[in-house]
Amino acid sequence: MISPVGSDSLKPLFVYDKTRRDELIEEASRLPSVEISSAAAANAVMMGGGYFTPLEGYMNLADGMGCAENMHMTDGRFFPVPILNLVESLDGIEGAGRVALRDPNVDGKPVIAIQQVDTIEKVSAEQMEVMTREVYRTQDLEHPGVAAFNGHGRYAISGPIEVLNFSYFETDFPDTFRTAVEIRGEIERRGWQRVVAFQTRNPMHLAHEELCHMAMDRLHCDGLVIHMLLGKLKPGDIPADVRDNAIRTMVKLYFPENSAIVTGYGFDMLYAGPREAVLHAYFRQNMGATHFIIGRDHAGVGDYYGAFDAQTIFDTEVPEDALEIEIFRADHTAWSKKLNRVVMMNEAPDHTKDDFVLLSGTKVREMLSHGIAPPKEFSRPEVAEILIKYYQSL
């Protein structure tokens, strides 16, 4: 099986030993505490599950700046984005050696992790500008990722963490949320050697389904891991439980048995385009995938990134030895009226736009809201039925 990034084995930060976890929970009741951002809580979940191996906790400012500027921490380790615990106020925690981190996404704001405080640093406006510009390639506050990152606060608390729970992901998505440890175990149990991962924050239409089949066939993969983002999205995106139902229905009906698993991970979407694509590849290697599908405008939003920037960054900015996982580069896929099947558009040079079945997201949402299923060349009818019920319930 493929090795984790920069390590011989996964390093999950979740405290699996019950005795130790009980001790930490008791300690948390006596420690000063701070409510962290949704993004920091999601990062604790990712570190807890081993996805961010070999990180041991939140970065200090120098490491965060290094990851933003050249995708390396100060000790030379590769990591594509800063993983910071930024807070707005130090009230009650200044001078503390250990702090309890409270989860903003769960009622009662329970403690999600305990952090050893190595440093507390004030992040300057200039440093925030540099990190924003390098990671998001824009400083436009209309960009949802930029707005979120710049709204977290200006004090960076660094240090290792011990994770006590997986926030709401484990309880709200018990059949879907899986740690990197669990996915590696499932891949090993199934005997898969070559595994391709597919990232989604949306339901999968016919083109997505066929893209996965194409990747599996061309890469000679034993299995597919559909890995769904379960964390915070931008307004208007379809809720995770609806996406989960739609994707599971598609897999059950249209994939051979033991060829695909549907899983999810707890992370808040950055919408950082190319940089987020690298992060997505990073933690897919950690969960055991040997290949990863990156399509047009992967992890993008609006018009901030070029259609294939998320692919070319692996050629121009990611060091050759940084990742073992291989990228499957996909173009937009759509139904060809000429060929009567789904194709990658760049592999049909004799086609014009009119030769494809293309529907905008706005048009699809409008159809579903009115109880109209998109054509079978665009969406499986069983998937459309689930989405119609959702849109008509709004």
> Catalytic residue positions?
201-202
The rounded distance, in Å, linking the Cα atoms of 330 and 339 is 19
Compute the half-sphere exposure of residue 297: CA atoms within 13 Å on the CB side of its CA: 12
**Which residues, in sequence order, are CB contacts of 361 under 8 Å at separation 6+?**
none
The rounded distance, in Å, linking the Cα atoms of 305 and 239 is 25
Cα distances (Å, whole numbers) of residue 222 to 2, 152, 180: 14, 42, 19
3-state SS of the chain is CCCCCCCCCCCCCECCCHHHHHHHHHHHCCCCEEECCHHHHHHHHHHHCCCCCCCCEECCHHHHHHHHHHCECCCCCECCCCCCCEECCCCCCCCCCEEEEECCCCCCCCEEEEEECCEEEECCHHHHHHHHHHHHCCCCCCCHHHHHHCCCCCEEEEEEEEECCCCCHHHHCCCCECCHHHHHHHHHHHCCCCEEEEEECCCCCHHHHHHHHHHHHHHCCCEEEEEEECCCCCCCCCCHHHHHHHHHHHHHHHCCCCCEEEEEECCCCCCCCHHHHHHHHHHHHHCCCCEEEECCCCCCCCCCCCCCHHHHHHHHCCCCCCCCCEEEECCCEEEECCCCEEEEHHHCCCCCHHHEECCCHHHHHHHHHCCCCCCCCCCCHHHHHHHHHHHHHC
The amino acid at residue 220 is H
Tell the burial category of 348 from Cβ atoms under 10 Å away from its Cβ (0-12, 13-18, 19+): middle
DSSP β-ladder status, 155-163 and 111-116: antiparallel
